[in-house]
Structure 1
Amino acid sequence: MITQEQNDFMTRVAPGKPAGELLRRYWQPVALLEELDGPRPLKAVKLMGQDFVLFRDETGRLGLLDRDCPHRGADLAFGRLEDGGLRCPFHGWLFDATGQCLETPAEPVGSKMCTRIKQGAYPVVERSGIVFAYIGPGEPPAFPEFDCFVAPGTHTFAFKGLWECNWLQALEVGMDPAHASFLHRFFEDEDTSESYGKQFRGASADSDLPITKVLREYDRPEIAVEPTEYGMRLTTLRKLDEKATHVRVTNVMFPQAFVIPMSSEMTITQWHVPVDDTHTYWYAIFTSFTGPVDKQQMRDQRLATIELPDYVSRRNKSNQYGYDVQEQASQTFTGMGMDINVHDQWACESQGPIQDRSREHLGATDKGIITFRRMLVRAIESVQRGEREAPLLIGADQAAAFSGPPSIDGVNDRGSDNDAYWREADRERRLKSSWAAARLNTGKAG
């Protein structure tokens, strides 16, 4: 049983809070690159309760600064992008992407004041359509050479969405293989050839068996959890008959992302990023092992259910997630439409802004969640001791040793050795891929 104190220890992310201090040791998504499109590439962002302004200067350089001007605290999100940086409208102070003050124009002629002023600034990089920031102490870790970071831009697509809940309960839905048989249950199977860009709507690899049928008819999975160098791997088995087993391999990329199969050709890497203690953005990179991603189709599909500029779901708490009693009786288990992100959002938000884990009763299928929480607590305690004993707090040399991680959804009809099946399936997919084949290296961690 988890106490309220232990729950706060794992969930609270403001500066100085134990979980917040751990998450600040990692790169965090802060925006989609597309959010800086347009005539004014500037955006106010909030991360773990702190306010920043993200911008791109005239040379294309990205910058992330504290949002309050160091002069008298005016809001730099209304600043002017000009003269090599961001200029505060209050008194014209100008800052570059490193936070250095370049001009204090209202000061007397010859004043050197600007040379002594530096605004809080943070490293930012773009990876696969997402802008990542590091707001922690010291040097940031390196990016592991996982598929989502090394695939060519033509083969990735990034998107995001806002949920009104704590980051940890949003993440935990992704490491729970059992829920898909219920929360995402569809009573009828669709044409799997029309499933491009849709989660849980295609066919398993090596089979024409619809995943919707697998989840609906085989709802008592056998789940194995294996700690890895990057976090942990979950292998979920659903025995179809005496010979065939549905095998699904998913991963947790510590501290707050999961890597899951979307289809036989794509994987999803999804982060759960705290805006504050009670709001979370999910950021996803869809990675294709076959042809280039149809970015327009993927974007159009998502904009049908998510509204800009804040990337808020059109089905949400205010309209009961589109719940329809007739649909629940005849079409879907939830009665909340066909978009599984809405199902997940309801599941997470219905637990409350921060789930009260002192009232929960975990079962055997929650072993992934139990393992992760122990891993999280150990990592938080390590940071409190001034150590770096946590997955993926790595340097460049270590980052190059990572690959994958393998994420497979398929049917093993050989009757045994499911581990060998998914490893071979992953290798075969990479061998057929224009970009992944060159990276095959069995010595890498993945």
Structure 2
Amino acid sequence: MMSQEQNDLITRTGPKAPCGRLMRSYWQPAALVDELEGARPIRPVRLLGENLVLFRDENGRYGLIDRHCAHRGADLAFGRLEHGGLRCAFHGWLFDATGQCIETPAEPKDSKLCQNIRQRSYPVVEKSGILWAYLGEGAPPAFPELDCFVAPGTHTFAFKGHMACNWLQALEVGIDPAHASYLHRFFEDEDTSTAYGKQFRGASAGSDLPMTKILREYDRPIINVEHTEYGLRLIALREIDEERTHVRVTNQLFPHGFVIPMSTEMTITQWHVPVDDENCYWYAIFTSYTNPVDKQKMRDQRLELYELPDYVSRKNRSNDYGFDPHEQQTATYTGMGSDINVHDQWAVESMGAIQDRTKEHLGQSDKAIVQYRRLLRQEIEKVQGGEKPMLFLDETNARSIQGPATMDGIGPTRGWETYWMEVDVKRRRGAPWTAPVPKEIADNVHRLTAAE
């Protein structure tokens, strides 16, 4: 049983909170690149409990600075982009992308006031359709060589969605292999050839069995959890018969991400980013190992649910997530439609803004949740002690974190350990871009194959 103090430790991410200090050790998704397209590339951003404004100046440089002007606190999200920076609409003070004040128009011509005025600012980089910000102290870490960062822009697509709850419960649904057999249960299976862009609607690798059928009929997975250099690897096994077993390999990417298979063609790398302690955004990069991503189709599919400009779900607490009792009896387990993002949103928001973990009762199927929370506490303690946490990488070791491997397929009941790795390696070697084979996977495939 968890105490309230322990729950606060792993959920609170403000500037002075221990978990907040941990989160500030990493690059955080701040916005989609798409959000700064158009005639006025300025967006208010609330990230880790801080109110900021993100903009792109006339030279294409990105700036992320405090939202309230250093002069008298007016809202810079309503400012004007001109003369190399963001100008406050109140008195015309102008700030460049580094936060430096470069003009104070109402002051005397010979005034040196602006030289000593600086908005707090944070570095921003563009990567795979997402603008990343570093809110920590000192030099930021290097990015790991994840597939979603290595693949060319033609083969990735980024999107986001809002959840009205704490980041941790939003993350934990993604590292819970057991829930999919219930929360995402469909009573009938669709034609898997029409599943492009939809999770859990295609066929598992090596078969024509729809994932929906497997999840529905085999609801007691054996869950294995392994510790890795990047977090955790989860392997869920659903034995179909003596000869065949469904194998699903997913990964927890520390601190608040996961990497999961979407289909035989794509993976999803997703982060659950704290807006504040009671709201978060999920940011996802979909990576294709075969054809270029149909970005327009993927975007249109998701905009059926999410409203711009804030990427808030049309199905939410205010309308009972579209709940239909007839549908619950005949079509889906939740009665909330076919979009699994709605299912997840209901599950995590129904726990409350911050889940009260002092009242929960965990079972064996929650072993990944237990191990992740232990890992999270361990890394919080490291940062409190002045150490760098796991996955805080420099340029010399960033390439050591590759992949990671994912898989969803039907393999042999005896020999599944080799099977899933071989499927992953084959997909990587057949990709039209150079998809690195993680050394650990390559070594294990060679060792296990040689032993047979």
* TM value normalised by structure 2: 0.96
Residue number in structure 2 paired with 1:185: 185
Aligned to 1:393: 392
Q: Which residue of 2 aligns with 1:229?
A: 229
Q: Deviations over 1:126-181 (max 9, x none)?
A: 11101110111111111001001111000000001101100000000000000000
CA contact 1:229–1:445 (8 Å) conserved in 2: no
SS of equivalent residue, structure 1 residue 181: helix
Alpha-carbon distance, 1:417 to partner:
2.4
Contact 2:405 2:438 in 1 (8 A): no
- The equivalent of 2:260 in structure 1 is 260
2:428 alignment counterpart: 430
| Unmatched tracts of structure 2, length 5 or more | 444-452
> 1:36 matched to which residue of 2?
36
Distance in 2 (CA, whole Å) between partners of 1:163 and 1:228 is 28
- CA 1:183 to 1:63, structure 2 compared with 1: closer, same or farther past 3 Å? same
Q: Is the 8 A contact 2:230 2:254 kept in 1?
A: yes
Asked if the contact 2:254–2:391 (Cα under 8 Å) also holds between the matched residues in 1, the reply is: yes
Any stretches of 5+ residues in structure 1 without a counterpart?
none
Secondary structure of 2:343's aligned partner: helix
Deviations 1:171-213 (A, max 9, x none): 0000000000000000000000000000000000111110000
SS in 2 for 1:376: helix
Q: For 1:137 and 1:245, how far apart are their aligned partners in 2?
A: 47
Q: C-alpha separation between the residues in 2 aligned to 1:196 and 1:429?
A: 18
| Residue in structure 2 matched with residue 408 of structure 1 by the alignment | 407
Letter in 1 for 2:41: P
Among the aligned pairs, what percent are the same residue? 66
Matched position secondary structure for 1:275? strand
Query: Any residues of structure 2 matched to 1:62-211 within 5 Å, and which?
Result: 62-211=62-211
User: Partner residue of 1:309?
Assistant: 309
1:288 aligns to what? Answer: 288
Distance 2:208 2:394 in 1: 43
Answer yes or no: is the 8 Å Cα contact 1:207–1:411 preserved in 2.
yes
Equivalents in 2 of 1:429, 1:29: separation in Å? Answer: 28
CA distance in 1, matches of 2:251, 2:170: 15
Match of 1:276 in 2: 276
Partner AA of 1:396 in structure 2: E
Aligned to 1:442: 439
1: CA distance, partners of 2:311 / 2:61: 25
Aligned-residue offset at 1:442: 2.6
Conserved 8 A contact 1:402-1:444: no
SS in 2 for 1:2: coil
Shift of 1:443: 6.0
Distance in 2 (CA, whole Å) between partners of 1:445 and 1:243 is 25
**Residue 400 of structure 1: SS of its match in structure 2?**
helix
Q: Which amino acid aligns with 2:415?
A: D
Q: Could you tell me how far apart the structure 1 residues matched to 2:247 and 2:390 are? A: 26
| CA offset digits 1:230-260 (Å, max 9, x no partner) | 0110011000110111000000110000000
Aligned AA (2:439): T
Could you report, residue by residue, the CA deviation over 1:314-346 in whole angstroms, capped at 9, with x for unpaired residues?
A: 111000001111100010000010000000000
Aligned-partner Cα distance in 2 for 1:121–1:444: 40
Per-residue deviation, residues 421-446 of structure 1 (Å, max 9, x unmatched): 11111110011101135x34636899
- Deviation larger for 34-43 or 86-95: 86-95
The amino acid that maps onto 1:426 is D
Q: C-alpha distance in 2, partners of 1:391/1:180?
A: 29
The SS at the match of 2:179 is: helix
Shift of 1:112: 1.5
The normalised TM-score by structure 1 is: 0.98
**Are the counterparts in 1 of residues 43 and 54 from structure 2 also a CA contact under 8 Å?**
yes
AA in 2 matched with 1:430: R
Contact 1:403 1:444 in 2 (8 A): no
Structure 1 residues 342-357: aligned runs within 5 Å:
342-357=342-357
| Closer/same/farther in 2, CA of residues 444 and 220 from structure 1, 3 Å limit | closer
Secondary structure in 1 matching 2:205: coil
